[in-house]
Amino acid sequence: MNKLILVTNDDSIHSKGIGELVSVARLFGTVVVVAPDKPQSAMGHAITISNPLRIHKFSGFNGVDAYECSGTPVDCVKLAIFEILKRKPDLLLSGINHGENSSTNVLYSGTMSAAIEGAMEGIDSIGFSLSDFRPDADFDAVKKIAKKIIPQILKLGLPSNTCLNVNVPKLPMNKIKGIKVCSQAHNYWSDYFEAREDQFGRPYYWLTGDFSDVDQRNNTDLYALKNGYVSVVPTHFDLTNYTAIETIKFLEDERKFK
């Protein structure tokens, strides 16, 4: 049966990465694209609740049905399912992101938030990211990886409530050592701000930072990427720390309050 595949991203419908993903996706089914009309990187799981959303047809994908949307990546997924397709697609693909979404970057990433939103809706969803921020990055290797992973997921499906976070190192294909299933590293950004002055002498702050190295486990996505592997993390939307439930039971209280 022909598969319906929804493609979105966070770098905008005009980025190179989504064009590359569309070219792979159309090998496996009927593709519909609903993606932001402008860059929405680092928007996390933001949604637009206080403003209206706009959709316009987009003709840049050579015959593929495509729409650009004024909202966030998660808005795009919701609009695609409930307004444009009026059904759930068989597969949701997000990316290919210009830049890595390993470790805690998954929380800030619009690319991965779109995939997580898909998982919430019960759709098999995969986010693809390349460890290269450049607008003209070379997506050849990540396209080959996508061609390998997509048919496996179409055939075997994903565990419930779970999407895939696939990150590909910035290496030529013949230098990539293989694919590792990993856990999300706990490393986070150790930020700092550059304080500058505008033309009126008023201060402003620009976020920058370095990545911490707090997580030294050898089964993480960061470890795999650093060692030349593609990382695949099964990612869900349940943030409960189940192992901590017993630890904080001291907070429970069955008494009525006064």
Considering only residues 193 through 212, tell me which ones interact with a second copy, judged by CB under 8 A: 193, 195-196, 198, 202-207
Minimum distance between the CB of residue 233 and a second copy, rounded to whole angstroms?
6
Considering only residues 218 through 247, tell me which ones interact with a second copy, judged by CB under 8 A: 232-245, 247
Is the CB of residue 31 less than 8 Å from the CB of residue 21? no
Residue whose CB is less far from a second copy, 62 or 147: 147
d(CA 34, CA 77): 7
Minimum distance between the CB of residue 62 and a second copy, rounded to whole angstroms?
26
Residue found under tokens 């990465």: 17
Residue whose CB is less far from a second copy, 63 or 178: 178
Tell me if residue 182 falls in helix, strand or coil. coil
Residue whose CB is less far from a second copy, 174 or 218: 174
Considering only residues 27 through 86, tell me which ones interact with a second copy, judged by CB under 8 A: 39, 41-50, 52-55, 74-75, 78-79, 81-83
Contacts of 11 (CB under 8 A, 6+ apart): 17, 18, 39, 40, 41, 97, 98, 111
Is the CB of residue 91 less than 8 Å from the CB of residue 7? no
- Total residues contacting a second copy by CB under 8 A comes to 92
Q: Does 141 bind a second copy (CB under 8 A)?
A: yes
Per DSSP, 184 falls in state: P
Is the CB of residue 220 less than 8 Å from the CB of residue 233? no
Q: Which of 113, 129, 131, 167 binds a second copy (CB under 8 A)?
A: 113
Minimum distance between the CB of residue 234 and a second copy, rounded to whole angstroms?
4
Q: Which of 13, 164, 222, 225 binds a second copy (CB under 8 A)?
A: 164
Q: Which of 192, 213, 216, 217 binds a second copy (CB under 8 A)?
A: 192
Minimum distance between the CB of residue 192 and a second copy, rounded to whole angstroms?
5
Closest CA to 222 of 163, 165, 149: 165
Contacts of 21 (CB under 8 A, 6+ apart): 7, 9, 93, 95, 96, 128, 146
Single out the segment in contact with a second copy by CB under 8 A; choices: 1-9, 11-19, 27-35, 138-146: 138-146
Tell me if residue 4 falls in helix, strand or coil. strand
